[in-house]
Amino acid sequence: MAFKSKLPHQEISIFSVMSKLAQEEKAINLSQGFPNFSCDPILIDLVRKYMVEGKNQYAPMPGLAALRQIIAHKIKSLYQVDIDFEKEITITAGATQAIYNSIQTVVHTGDEVIIIEPAYDSYSPAIKMCGGIPVAYQLNAPNFKVDWDELGKLISDKTKMLIINTPHNPTATRLDEDDLQKLNDLLADKDIFVLSDEVYEHLVYDQQKHVTLLSYPELYKRSFVSYSFGKTFHATGWKMGYLVAPPILTAEFRKIHQFTVFSVNTPIQHALAEYMQEPNNYLELGDFYQKKRDLFLEAMNGCSLKPLPSAGTYYALFDYSEVSDQKELDFAKEVTRKFKVATIPVSAFYSQKIENRVLRICFAKKEETLIEAASRLSRL
Ligand SMILES: Cc1ncc(COP(=O)(O)O)c(C=O)c1O
């Protein structure tokens, strides 16, 4: 039967391509962004406990009150911001659904949405699915800093939304107070919504602090802010996350949320609500991953791939311009085949496939995996 594709130019995700190749080549897979170690057994026991207790039916549509309350408490204690858990927090099926529904909530056919590339791959298709037009602002190696004046030049009378992501996947950079203040000033007199994707909020290194959009009241009024339990609690396969947005936007968001999933996994929501009573369960995450980053960088010392700074997320970029002038995808494939380590070409995160000769590795892996991968890469 003939049909018209809604995403006619959508390619297979680079993660599937590189993971498949990693499997075929029996390579260490540092491409996809998930841990190869298990999540806390206490959390698993809590999920089991609530399943056995019979918490297996639909949760309330916005999410369990106890979970939303503890999230509001976390936001207050970390960022000194008051969030009304009833009206401003919705539990979602991963950050992906929070992102998708936020875009659906405000973007109409013909609206433009500014994204900052290289960009996480779900933004653009979500914009296109509601007839919107992604407009890319391009970050450049090696600093990948946003020039807010340049970005401002992309704003038109069709711009409906701007998407930021901090800490940033794939460049491992983060926005600081100056960036958020500039964003605040840029949008002050404009009717433009913001989606701030903050799934790596706890993965910030070197004594820095995550700067959240929630701390900017004027920006927050127009914003959707997405988070992921998967990233925070080493359980990406559970697809659990949440959205924080002001009451008027949350009300509209929930109209869509209730007809995409209605509500998400009940026993896991109960388990998370109890597990988050202990703040160290998320506060220790930065140190935990910083140790992995440092271990990997140390093991890569002397390798001809040159690391760029990793200020946040569980990724690091490596510049290979001294080793090869191949395109990133070709080089990543060659490294997988010859050295048995799979990485991600950053060009895949640009709509125009911009080449900076950098590869992204994910260091959310066991120590022995990181050491073995570094030893293989050192032969390059
Ligand atoms: C920047 C960014 N946003 C959102 C997500 C998706 O999060 P979740 O797995 O909770 O849907 C990811 C996952 O890699 C990500 O890197």
pLDDT over 90 at 140, yes or no: yes
Residue 231 to residue 241: CA distance in whole angstroms:
9
Cα 228 to ligand 1 centre (Å): 7
What CATH number did the domain enclosing 99 receive?
3.40.640.10
What CATH number did the domain enclosing 304 receive?
3.90.1150.10
Do 265 and 156 belong to one domain?
A: yes
* C-beta atoms surrounding 7 within 10 Å: 10
pLDDT over 90 at 92, yes or no: yes
Do 122 and 210 belong to one domain?
A: yes
Q: Which amino acids bring their CB within 6 angstroms of ligand 1?
A: 33, 94-96, 120, 165, 169, 197, 199, 228, 230, 236, 239, 241
> In this predicted structure, what is the pLDDT of residue 11?
86
In this structure, are residues 110 and 133 in contact, taking their beta carbons and an 8 Å threshold? Answer: yes
Cα 53 to ligand 1 centre (Å): 31
Which range marks the domain in which residue 130 is found?
Answer: 54-280
> In this predicted structure, what is the pLDDT of residue 302?
87
Atom of ligand 1 nearest to the CA of 34: 14
Closest by CA position to 246, among listed 51, 69, 90: 90
Tens digit of each residue's pLDDT (9 = 90 or more) over 104-133: 999 999 999 999 999 999 999 999 999 999
Tens digit of each residue's pLDDT (9 = 90 or more) over 267-309: 999 999 999 999 999 999 999 999 999 999 999 998 999 999 9
Calculate what percentage of the chain has a pLDDT beyond 70: 100
In this structure, are residues 21 and 336 in contact, taking their beta carbons and an 8 Å threshold? Answer: yes
> In this predicted structure, what is the pLDDT of residue 69?
98
Tens digit of each residue's pLDDT (9 = 90 or more) over 152-195: 999 999 999 999 999 999 999 999 999 999 999 999 999 999 99
- Ligand 1 atom 16, closest CA: 169
Residue 99 to residue 113: CA distance in whole angstroms:
13
Do 111 and 232 belong to one domain?
A: yes
Do 264 and 301 belong to one domain?
A: no
Residue 302 in domain: yes
Number of structural domains (the chain) is 2
- Among 19, 198, 210, 231, the mutation site with the greatest number of ligand 1 atoms within 8 A of its Cβ is 231
pTM across the whole model: 0.97
Task: Provide the β-strand partners of residue 89.
Answer: 244
Residue 295 in domain: yes
Tens digit of each residue's pLDDT (9 = 90 or more) over 229-269: 999 999 999 999 999 999 999 999 999 999 999 999 999 99
Phi, psi for 116 (deg, rounded to 5): -105, 115
Atom of ligand 1 nearest to the CA of 97: 11
Residue 85 in domain: yes
Phi, psi for 289 (deg, rounded to 5): -80, -30
For residues 201-216, average pLDDT: 97
